[in-house]
Amino acid sequence: QVQLVESGGGLVQAGGSLRLSCSTSARTFSSYAMGWFRQAPGQEREFVASISWNGDHTYYTDSVKGRFAISRDNAKNTVYLQMDSLKPEDTAVYYCAADRRNSFGSTRDRFGYEYWGQGTQVTVSS
């Protein structure tokens, strides 16, 4: 079982920045693609960004392109989501997830991810 722990959420004004982190003690972390998803109240959990096992490939949903950046440090077993120019519509619980089957990181379907963190709240005030 892979346990993922997110941190870095909080309350920020529109236009501000936050950096989310997701860490694990799993030795197999470097072989997994990783993704970030978010879920706003009353809405489905949606794809935000993903990254391949070695960090060479990244993918983003259109609404965050140019504002968010996903990265990873396999030596620290950690994946990051740098969020800049935040908007009120970015308010949600953010989850990190691990994809054991597709290490290229191209999976956008939440059902393609086997392991999930508990989530961290991001609130952007207008």
* 103-to-10, 28, 55 alpha-carbon distances in Å: 30, 12, 10
Dihedral sign computed on CA atoms, order 27, 32, 36, 42: negative
**Whose CA is closest to 61, among 16, 125, 110, 20?**
110
Q: What is the pLDDT of residue 24?
A: 95
pLDDT interval class at 1 (50, 70, 90): confident
- Looking at every residue in the chain, the average pLDDT score rounds to 96
| Structural tokens at position 90 | 């970015």
pLDDT at residue number 116? 97
Q: Give the pLDDT of residue 35.
A: 98
Residue 41 makes CB contacts below 8 A (sequence gap 6+) with none
Which letter does DSSP use for residue 107 in this model?
A: -
Q: What is the pLDDT of residue 105?
A: 87
Token digits of residue 32: 């997994």
Which pLDDT tens digit goes with each residue over 66-118? 999 999 999 999 999 999 999 999 999 999 999 999 999 899 999 999 999 99
Q: How high is the pLDDT of residue 90?
A: 98
